[in-house]
Structure 1
Amino acid sequence: MKNFLAIYLGTPDSMKKWENLSETEQQQRMKEGMAAWTGWMEQHKDILVVEGGPLGKTKRIDDDGIVDTRNNMTGYVIVKAESHEAAAKLFEGHPSFSIFPGDGVEVMECMPIPTL
């Protein structure tokens, strides 16, 4: 089994769709989404390496210093799977984009650190 990092993604456009919902619709979606997300986590508890969670504001650090920046990452989780394809299939129809205002999920293998 290999470890895979899944990054939940959302854009300003997807948030606009959420903001256009009424307060009642947002609350209903939140309730439905949290139930679906909790169900997904329970269904996959045997392959969860890190439960992850939501991500906050971003800072970029480079040779020029530290600056505020933005990206589309909204959350993460680390799972175990036999292959990249198997890991990706775990997120088909995931509540992060099927109910919540996300755009999708990107899945990548957590590679081992090379040894000399």
Structure 2
Amino acid sequence: MDQYLNRASLTAVAAGGVLGALARYGIATAWPTEPHGFPWSTWLINVTGCFLIGVLYSRVEPRLPRLFLGTGFLGGYTTFSTAIVETSQAGLGYLAATLIGAVVAVAAGSALAR
């Protein structure tokens, strides 16, 4: 494989990941979860990330923008590892709300983008 493409791909993923993680941190900081409260900021981040991935994969064809936006930005933005930790604290209702919200958001994003 072309070395430039590899370098470009890695750069796209890394740059997107940094920006996505910063966006997630900003939202979580602006809207913190109360102790023993429903983690709304994490839920919002995951559902909006799923919506955007639905739009992205229905609209964006070129490889580098998909790597930057999908693997990079949305990979850094969404927080399913955090969601699992919060599920252990908030319970199965949160897990169900996250999964349902995520599936509906991907479908809505994909349908809207078409």
Q: What is the TM-score of this pair, normalised by structure 1? A: 0.33
> Greater relative contact order (Cα 8 A, min sep 6): structure 1 or 2?
1
Higher helix share: 2
Higher strand share: 1
Q: What is the TM-score of this pair, normalised by structure 2? A: 0.33
